[in-house]
Amino acid sequence: MKTGRIIRSLSGYYDIQIEDGHIERTRARGEFRKSGQKPLVGDFVDFESENDEGLIWRIHPRENVLVRPPVANIDVAVIVTALKEPNFTPNLLDRQLVALEAANVRPLIYFTKSDLLTSTELMATKTVVDTYQQIGYTAILPTSVQDTVAFHMLQDVLKDKVSVFMGQTGAGKSTLLNHLSPQLGLETGVVSKALSRGKHTTRQVTLIQVDDALIADTPGFSSYEVFDFPIEDLDNYFPEFVKARYSCRFRGCFHLNEPGCAVKEAVSVGDIAQSRYNSYKAFYELIKSQKPKYSTDNRNY
């Protein structure tokens, strides 16, 4: 029996990388399908293999899992966030952060296109960055596309880690990935071309080795579109709310209209950013209006 990490999933096959770097192709045992389990890219698994034909026997407990894209055991999610073209919106960034907090994935915010800002806009942006850093998030603000200090900070965080990159169209995600590894785009293209030969092949996620990091090459990231958790859990995913809420007068305070709310008091004195509170209220209304659809996938580790 061998142990390794799934680095690619395609058409029912799983490519598993073992400790020495060798990759072996396997299938999953039928018992997984019967029990509703499915191996995911990023999973550590026990498997048997002979003559390039293998079977996965056991999936190790997961640290975390994202449903869209389907990938497990992520060390860090890089949120590539444009400041211009498209313009920065705190609501979208906060939505991504909440989704990652709910999935127990560590976020890193990497701002792009600061070179398009005026000096006044750049000063305002530094205040925004400081807000997220004070909450406890790692937030990197390059001063230009060629900012090597910021880029090396990112590389240091990714070293020996499994990461996913997310960001809206035009945020510069592809540019950043290709800067991390000029070969990344080429490797992605090779994988896509190889898979296109199969008539009914569906590509999911691939972990690509970039120096000492494994980066998930994902066809799309949409986990933050819908919040799959009860409304009572929302304030759990705002770290600064968690610190303040213990002083609320009422247990189970929703921080909206209740008297003696410590969160609202912290907003009024500037200890919690107004933009973050606005996002909280918007997400509260969003969850309240959407049909219940609570996924337990990211809680069964």
Binding residues for Zn(2+): 248, 253, 255, 261
Residue 51: in which H helix or E strand, if any?
none
Q: What is 128-160 written as a DSSP string?
A: HHHHHHHHT-EEE--SSTT-HHHHHHHHHHHTT
Q: How far apart are CA 183 and CA 174, in angstroms?
A: 12
CA distance 44 to 59: 6
- CA angle 89–94–97, rounded 5-degree value: 135
- Report how far residue 191's alpha carbon sits from residue 227's, in angstroms, rounded to the nearest whole number: 32
Binding site feature residues: 112-115, 167-175, 248, 253, 255, 261
Which residues does the annotation place in the binding site for GTP?
112-115, 167-175
With CA atoms as reference, report the closest residue to 4 among 57, 50, 52. Answer: 57
DSSP alpha helix (H) spans, the chain: 30-35, 90-102, 119-135, 148-158, 173-180, 184-196, 239-245, 262-268, 274-289
Q: Which token pair is 109? A: 């915010």
Burial group, residue 77, by CB count within 10 angstroms (0-12, 13-18, 19+): buried
